[in-house]
Structure 1
Amino acid sequence: MVREDATIDGGELYTVANALGMTDQQVRLCVRRLVADGQFTQQGRGRKAILRATAATMRTLAPDVEFVRFMFEQDRGAAPWDGCWHLVAFAIPEAARPARDAMRDGIVRLGGAPVQGGLYVSANAWEAQLDALAAGLEVSDHITTFTSADLRIGQTESPRRIAARLWPLDDIAARHRRLLDFARRTLRRLRETELDDTELLTVTIELAAEFTRAMEPDPLLPPQLLPQPWAGTKARGMVAECWSLLLATETHAPTRLFRAYGDVIRDVAVHAGRVS
């Protein structure tokens, strides 16, 4: 609900929250917690309030446009795997346990899978992101990165079997099938129904939530390592169609999410032959 000027309109917030099944009291408690945590400032009260995201919050909300661009490039076969595994090992002292935990969580968010204690692997180049993560946690001296073209885990050598062993592909595929079903219903609704501003915002939030639920555990493995056909490819294509329609129908106060991804979505549409 954060708009391009970093604000949230209280009236829109309560109205959309109600449409999603939340009570006014739940919204008030959430807003109070966000303000107390320093994530937003508040001017006014209730539905007349204006919430403004702090600088720290805006940094965390900044969408990873290149991540999404790479995702769609993979889906259309424009980013084939080069057969190289990317690994990181870390041994951070117990005295820096919070940083150690944060490093591990950050590696997993980047799509890494544990091979054994302190050793993680990805099929994609991630060294720049790892360097930034380690520098932010002040543990750069405690990590080692390297690549391998002949990774073997136990007696497993086949890259596709390694991927199936390291990542929960069945669960990830199930999430994508759920996303596909939701995106298909959403696309039909956007095409067949004229939605007002509140309904458009509600659809936007629901679609973003389903997309996040599907993508958070997805390591974006290259197609060569995935069972085919892969559910994520079709699901993301359907989401891109929904995004295109939402971009075309946004009103006077567009949300940041779809504007930020606008160029990526237009590229997807071009390659899919949907626009000239």
Structure 2
Amino acid sequence: MTLEKHVLFLLEKKRQMSGKELIAILEEMKFTPQSIRNALAKLKKANLIVSVERGSYNLTKKGLFTHANYLPHKNYYKQEWSRQWLIVLVGIPEAERKKRDRFRLILLQMGFGLLYKGVYIYPWDVSDKLLTIIDELEIEDFVTITLSPEFLLNNIRADSFTGPNTAKKIWKLADLQSHYENQLPFLNESRQLLDHLSKDKEKTNLFILAQYLTIYALKEELLNRDPMLPPEFLPSNWQGIYVLKEMDDLLQQFALFLRGTPYEVFI
């Protein structure tokens, strides 16, 4: 999560905050005062935040809308697959190259895999959100969407099979697996910190909030990076489900320490 996204998140939770309070929280998260001031100036210039009183900030309507678009993907690991594939065929002409490039990027960010040139697939039905994006970009004439329960040839397969359409290849699961494994030391450190807090409450509430926000931001980044494929397409040692579940538990545990404090509004 970028610094700007952190600011929008905090203001969406509390709606009006002083610059002093924002800086105190973000400094505890290891951002520098100058980078925080630069972020506030950038967001204000983009009309995402406004200073309604001297030194205090609110989100604008544009800021609220932008923050809503930043919200992380749904955790599809908790949902049963309908066994249908959402297939998107894209034929946007060169004359609309900017829209084409933007739409392709959005599809990949949503978790779609590139099957062939101009053909994208995803196991989860996000057609409502997709249709809204297509309408906003005004590319209805160049995109075809369908839901299909099967492929008659070259079905999508798990990584234990050979063939042209393995999930591991389409979604680069090996890279994502490594990224998840890299989070394990951080999870262990966070768990040890929780144990310490339970025995010795010397840490301030601001420090605990910073830990909570750091874990929340990392979880959001992982949710937006992971296509969250159904179990049958994942490696047997897949770390994604465990890591996200552990983060949910850590967030709940850290939140308990903030109940009844001024920072409860952020959890």
Normalising by structure 2, what TM-score?
0.80
User: Does the alignment pair 1:217 with 2:217?
Assistant: no
Cα distance between partner residues in 2 of 1:227 and 1:81: 20
Cα distance between partner residues in 2 of 1:5 and 1:137: 32
Task: Select the residue among 26, 29, 51 that pairs with 1:42.
Answer: 51
The superposition leaves residues 52-83 of structure 1 with CA deviations (integer Å, 9 ceiling, x where unpaired) of 11112212323758713x33x14xxxx1462x
2:134 is matched with 134
Gap change, CA 1:223 and 1:203, over 3 Å in 2: same
The superposition leaves residues 178-222 of structure 1 with CA deviations (integer Å, 9 ceiling, x where unpaired) of 333323322331342134232122112211232233232211101
CA contact (8 A) 2:191 2:250 kept: yes
CA contact (8 A) 2:88 2:120 kept: yes
Task: Select the residue among 159, 163, 168 that pairs with 1:164.
Answer: 168
1:196 is matched with 204
Gap change, CA 1:215 and 1:65, over 3 Å in 2: closer
CA contact (8 A) 1:81 1:222 kept: no
2:189 is matched with 185
Percent identical:
20
User: Does the alignment pair 1:243 with 2:235?
Assistant: no
Cα distance between partner residues in 1 of 2:183 and 2:265: 21
1:22 is matched with 31
Gap change, CA 1:11 and 1:182, over 3 Å in 2: same
The residue identity in structure 1 corresponding to 2:257 is: T
Gap change, CA 1:172 and 1:92, over 3 Å in 2: same
Specify the SS of the correspondent of 2:88. strand
Task: Select the residue among 239, 252, 256 that pairs with 2:262.
Answer: 252
Cα distance between partner residues in 2 of 1:179 and 1:41: 36
Aligned residue pairs total 244
Cα distance between partner residues in 1 of 2:168 and 2:152: 14
Cα distance between partner residues in 2 of 1:186 and 1:255: 22
The residue identity in structure 2 corresponding to 1:180 is: L
State the shift of 1:21 in Å: 3.2
Gap change, CA 1:211 and 1:179, over 3 Å in 2: farther
Gap change, CA 1:2 and 1:201, over 3 Å in 2: farther
CA contact (8 A) 2:92 2:142 kept: yes
CA contact (8 A) 1:3 1:253 kept: no
1:122 is matched with 122
Gap change, CA 1:105 and 1:120, over 3 Å in 2: same
User: Does the alignment pair 1:233 with 2:215?
Assistant: no
Cα distance between partner residues in 2 of 1:164 and 1:42: 48
1:207 is matched with 215
2:15 is matched with 6
Q: Which runs of 5+ in 2 are unaligned?
A: 1-9, 160-165
